Every structure is written in structure tokens, then in C-alpha cells.
Amino acid sequence: MGPSAPAELEKLLAEHGVTARVRTPQPGELVGELRRAVDAGPDLLITLAGDGTVRAAAELCGPNGPMIAPLPGGTMNMMPHAVYGQRAWPEALHLALETGRERDLGGGCIEGRRFLCAAILGSPARLAPAREAARHGRLLEAFANTRHALERAFTGRLRYRLDGKPRQKAEALVLICPIASKVMRAEDPMLEAAALNPNGAGEILRLGLNALVRDWRVDPAVEDEFCKRAQVWAAQGIPALLDGESVRLTSVVDVRYDPKVCRVLTPPKDERAG
């Protein structure tokens, strides 16, 4: 966000009569600073960061802890944009403080971890190191990581079952929370489950292009359903991304919809579109 962001944030909060402590942790200090902030018992925890930081804050706050105001300060900003619309963070903060209301936010739960936007299970999650390398300008490393991920694609397909239905197979399974879904209402008590079944590298590229230029659900390699619970199996551990954070899951996991992951300070519904 640049070196001036903390001072700008403090100034805007002061203009609204809000007494706050602004913390600027380094990446390795983030979780510790979040925990100390939550333990202090504030009325509101504001994050000016990406989806992974919001996810970590939501886990620490839980359903009965401080409210969260997730301002857009990361790469994707899926969660902040879902809450405040396509707004810059100063405008989103003003909207939250002037018109914000407490709201319970549902999401997904997998092996004790929570996610608020989406969980990607399967081989596409192996592209995360390439994305991070490209983000920091390490292009040769990004290329090597991409090649490694594509070489390992189609070597460990997933088996999954949605709400007790017959078992199915997929290269990857994407579980999307209501607030981040384009085909669900934020109040719907379930997850969108998209099974990805590309047959080769060419279809992976086509799927990626559809994701960039139009709704990827129209791609013939995608099967889209809804569920409250998903069971997923693999021969080995399952690579996964939870709101953009790379994790390694066990070979058998249970995913469920959690109606109250945390509380957020959100504007009225008609003001969120931006």
C-alpha cells in the first residue's frame, strides 16, 4: 500500500472521531500482531491487506470476537470488494464508519481452518508459488514453478462427494462462499462447488482464459453444483489454496458450510455494489 498508508489511515480514523492503534507488521509478524490486536478486545479490527490476512483475522476473531472491516489492500481483494464493492480503501472505510452495520458472515470450514471467499483443492493450487514469484518480479522462478505444476497435473485426481450424493472424480474442486459467488445470494446457507475436469494443458489454458475474460462456469470443463458439505479424497495429501493461502491438507478432508465464521462491519445491501 506504500509507506504513507498508515498515516493516511490514522488521519481518516481521527476525522471520524475513532481512537485506534495502527500496526504495520512485517509478513513474519502478521499472525502474532493480529492475535495481540484481537486479545486487546477492540470494538473493531480493520485490515488494510489481502484476502489471506482477512481470513487469518476471521479465524482469530471467531463468531463472537471483534467485528472486522476488511479494506482492500492486497492483490485480489475478493473479500473487501464483496463487502464494500469496487471502491478504493479510503472510500470503503468512510462507508463502513458512516453507514456500517454488524453482520454475521458465513463461509467454509475445512480441517479446522476457515475460508471466506474460496477454497481450491487439487493440482491448480500448485500454481501458487509461481503466482507469488511473478508478483515479486522473479520471472524465471515463476516460469520454473509453472512448468513444475503442469508436469504434476493429472497425476492425482480427486474423488469427492457432495451432500451424500454418489462419488465423483475431478482434477480440482473449487468451493466458493456465498459472498464471493456470482450465482448465489450472500445469505444463501451453502457453498458453490465447481468441479474442474480439463483433459490436458490446452484445456487448462482455455479454462484460465475463460476465467479472465468471462464467467468460467460456461467452460465445458466445469461442472457447477451447490452443497452444504463436501467430502474429498486423494491418494496423497491434497494441495489447496484457502483464500489465496497455500496449505497442504490430508488425503481425506471434510468441508462444510459454517453460517457464522465472524462478524463484519458492512454497509446496507444497496450501497455495496460500488
- In the chain, what percentage of residues exceed pLDDT 70? 77
Burial of residue 212 (CB within 10 Å: 0-12, 13-18, 19+) is exposed
How far is residue 267's CA from residue 213's CA, in Å, rounded to a whole number?
29
What's the pLDDT tens digit per position in 171-182?
A: 888 898 998 888
Domains and CATH numbers, the chain: 5-106+263-271 (3.40.50.10330), 114-257 (2.60.200.40)
C-alpha cell at 62: 471467531
Helix (H) or strand (E) holding 92: helix 89-99
CB within 8 Å of 102: residues ≥ 6 apart = 67, 263, 264, 265
CA-based Rg of the chain, rounded to a whole angstrom?
19
Is 105 in contact with 121 (CB distance < 8 Å)? no
Closest CA to 23 of 11, 9, 13, 33: 33
pLDDT 10s digits, 23-53? 999 878 999 999 999 999 999 999 999 888 9
Taking only the tens place, the pLDDT of each residue in 197-219 is 766 555 554 554 444 444 556 66
The Cα 2–Cα 118 span in angstroms is 27
pLDDT tens by residue, 156-173: 679 999 999 999 998 888
pTM over 0.75: yes
| CB-based burial label for 108 (10 Å; 0-12, 13-18, 19+) | buried
- The string of pLDDT tens digits covering residues 102-114 is 999 999 999 889 9
